[in-house]
């Protein structure tokens, strides 16, 4: 194959890899923070709320997405979980 044909293909593959890992750090930090906040909510006695259950479900899904390198979805779910954790701690 000619070199000029391979260069765009290599650039495309590298761009795809960069896009896939763009949310990796956000996913990890959001998950860490959310699990910590969930532990605090549980210690404060909010584990029985609907919001707590929603948060736990979202975090489980986010962790699964992290394991499959679906970092954008992971970060999104972890961010939503943190919202529900705040709602739980507010008694909603």
What's the mean pLDDT when you consider all of the chain? 85
% of the chain beyond a pLDDT of 90: 67
Q: Which residue has the tokens 């699990």?
A: 35
pTM here is 0.76
Confidence tier at 23 by pLDDT (50, 70, 90): very high
What is the distance between the alpha carbons of residues 92 and 58, in angstroms, rounded to a whole number? 17
What is the distance between the alpha carbons of residues 49 and 5, in angstroms, rounded to a whole number? 58
- Residue 20: the pLDDT is 65
Given a cut of 70, is residue 13 above it in pLDDT? no
The domain locations on the chain are 23-90
Given a cut of 90, is residue 19 above it in pLDDT? no
What is the distance between the alpha carbons of residues 88 and 32, in angstroms, rounded to a whole number? 18
Model confidence over 24-37: pLDDT tens digits? 999 999 999 999 99
Q: Which residue has the tokens 């070199």?
A: 3
Kindly state the tokens that stand for 73.
């979805």
Left if phi > 0, otherwise alpha if psi is -120 to 50, otherwise beta: which for 11? Answer: alpha
Q: Which residue has the tokens 């605090």?
A: 40
């Amino acid at each position: 194959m000619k070199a000029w044909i391979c260069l765009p293909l290599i650039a495309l593959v590298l761009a795809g890899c960069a896009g896939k890992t763009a949310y990796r750090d956000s996913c990890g930090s959001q998950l860490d923070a959310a699990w910590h906040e969930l532990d605090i909510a549980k210690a404060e006695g909010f584990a029985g709320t609907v919001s707590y259950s929603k948060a736990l479900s979202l975090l489980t899904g986010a962790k699964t997405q992290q394991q499959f390198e679906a970092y954008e979805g992971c970060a999104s779910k972890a961010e939503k979980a943190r919202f529900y954790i705040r709602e739980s701690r507010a008694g909603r």
